[in-house]
Amino acid sequence: MTPAKTGASITAKTGASTPAKATDAAAGTHAESAAPRLAASGLTLAYDRRVIAEGLDVAIPDASFTVVVGPNACGKSTLLRALARVLRPTAGTVTLDGEKIASWPARKLARTLGLLPQSSVAPEGITVADLVARGRYPHQGLLRQWSREDERVVAESMEATGVAALASRGVDELSGGQRQRVWIAMALAQQTSLLLLDEPTTFLDIAHQIEVLDLCARLHAEGRTVVAVLHDLNQAARYATHLVAMRDGRIVAEGPPAEVVTADRVAEVFGLRCRVIDDPESGTPLVVPAAPAAGSGSSGSPGNVVKVTQV
């Protein structure tokens, strides 16, 4: 509810975006929705002089759960960081609501687009409630340090991520899954309509990975645009509504998971021989790596697996 409202008011304020939307819709360039709020064109991304990606064009469909996948060091986290303006591109532009993201005032941007970076450090001895409260920074000021609104939003964010019961606990005492939910709660407290998550499931065991992804899916269902970088292709295929596959700093494929995840594409992106079957739980594509001896005649048993799962 709140994110939708924020989005509407911003679009209304930045009048420039409306005509752009109309022309794009007329041209019909984007399959999903015209003139997405967050997009990048001609991005060259580099750390110091080491170029990670060149000539990237990407559009994040509005209200999508977009997941960026690709092998290690393909530039997916770098792309996410550029989309959040944490990394300044060497060339090209990122636009948000029709304006160059570089020209957005820092606090206004932080009220519109949230990023959960990979590298956050919980200050020593901080409690869950205090950490979540830090997400209110862009809404606060020297004379507006802790309004009733702040209090309410922080409580709601902890409720939504299931960490309300942990509010007075120290963040250092929590399990990895709990801690990740606390960080997500902090990003939620920012009340942004776009939420970018950099590998939110890394270092978590499988149950906590699913827990975090279910939470992301719920945040998406509530109306936010969620963009996440994930390692696990199967999880990406299950949760994403829009998949971006990268390799060597290029975008190889983009679209709904069912179209993007094919055996050939997986071979191209990850260099992995596999077969793609339907996920028996969700019906989304499921990548099953080929057995080492699959080339010789092990058609028997994998075939059986496929039959079983297709029932």
Partner 1 sequence: MNGSSVSSGTTADGTAVGGAAVGGAAAGGAANRGVVLVRTGGVSLKLNARAVLVGAACAVAALVVSVFAIGGGDYPLSFGEVVRAVFGHGDASTDFIVNQLRLPRAATALAVGAALGLAGALFQSLARNPLGSPDLLGFTQGSTMGVLVAIVLLGGSSLALAAGAVIGGVLTGVLIVLLVGRNGAHGQRLVLVGVGIAAILTGVNGYLLTKAQITEAARAVLWLTGSLDGRDWKQAAPLLVMLALAGAITVSCGRAMRTLEMGDEAARALGVPVDRVRGLLLAVAVLLAALAAAAAGPVSFVALTAPQPARRLTRASGPNALPSACLGAAMLAAADLAGQRLVPGHQLPVGVVTGLLGGGYLIWLLSTERKAGRL
Instruction: Tell me which of 67, 69, 96, 128 binds partner 1, using CB under 8 A.
Output: 128
Q: Give the residue with the Cβ less far from partner 1, 190 or 234.
A: 190
Does 129 participate in binding partner 1 (rule CB under 8 A)?
yes
Does 3 participate in binding partner 1 (rule CB under 8 A)?
no
Instruction: Tell me which of 117, 176, 223, 255 binds partner 1, using CB under 8 A.
Output: 117
Does 154 participate in binding partner 1 (rule CB under 8 A)?
yes
Q: Give the residue with the Cβ less far from partner 1, 5 or 152.
A: 152
Helices marked H in the chain = 2-13, 17-27, 76-83, 106-110, 128-133, 148-160, 176-189, 206-221, 233-239, 257-260, 263-270, 300-310
Does 134 participate in binding partner 1 (rule CB under 8 A)?
yes
Decide: 88 and 48 in contact? Cβ < 8 Å: no
> Long-range CB contacts (< 8 A, 24+ apart) of 12-16?
14/97, 14/98, 14/99, 16/98, 16/99
Please, what is the minimum distance in Å from the beta carbon of residue 175 to partner 1? 18
Does 216 participate in binding partner 1 (rule CB under 8 A)?
no
Please, what is the minimum distance in Å from the beta carbon of residue 168 to partner 1? 3
Does 214 participate in binding partner 1 (rule CB under 8 A)?
no
Q: Residues 162-201 vs partner 1: string with x where CB under 8 A?
A: -----xx------------------x--x-----------
Please, what is the minimum distance in Å from the beta carbon of residue 291 to partner 1? 41
Please, what is the minimum distance in Å from the beta carbon of residue 205 to partner 1? 22
Find the helix or strand (DSSP H, E) in which 44 lies. Answer: strand 38-47
Q: Give the residue with the Cβ less far from partner 1, 140 or 262.
A: 140
Burial class (CB in 10 A: 0-12, 13-18, 19+), 297: exposed
Residues 69-88 within binding reach of partner 1 (CB under 8 A) = 81, 84-86
Instruction: Tell me which of 151, 214, 222, 259 binds partner 1, using CB under 8 A.
Output: 151
Please, what is the minimum distance in Å from the beta carbon of residue 292 to partner 1? 40
DSSP state, 207? H
Decide: 102 and 47 in contact? Cβ < 8 Å: no
Instruction: Tell me which of 20, 155, 252, 290 binds partner 1, using CB under 8 A.
Output: 155
Does 135 participate in binding partner 1 (rule CB under 8 A)?
yes
Can you tell me which residue has the tokens 């407290």? 189
296: Cα separation from own chain's centroid: 40
Decide: 69 and 235 in contact? Cβ < 8 Å: no
Please, what is the minimum distance in Å from the beta carbon of residue 71 to partner 1? 22
Q: What is the DSSP string of 212-271?
A: HHHHHHHHHHTT-EEEEE-S-HHHHHHH-SEEEEEETTEEEEEE-HHHH--HHHHHHHH-
Decide: 96 and 104 in contact? Cβ < 8 Å: yes
CA distance 286 to 278: 6
Does 122 participate in binding partner 1 (rule CB under 8 A)?
yes
Does 111 participate in binding partner 1 (rule CB under 8 A)?
yes
Q: Summarize as ranges the residues that interact with partner 1 (CB under 8 A).
A: 81, 84-86, 106-111, 114-130, 132-135, 137-138, 140, 142-148, 150-151, 154-155, 167-168, 187, 190
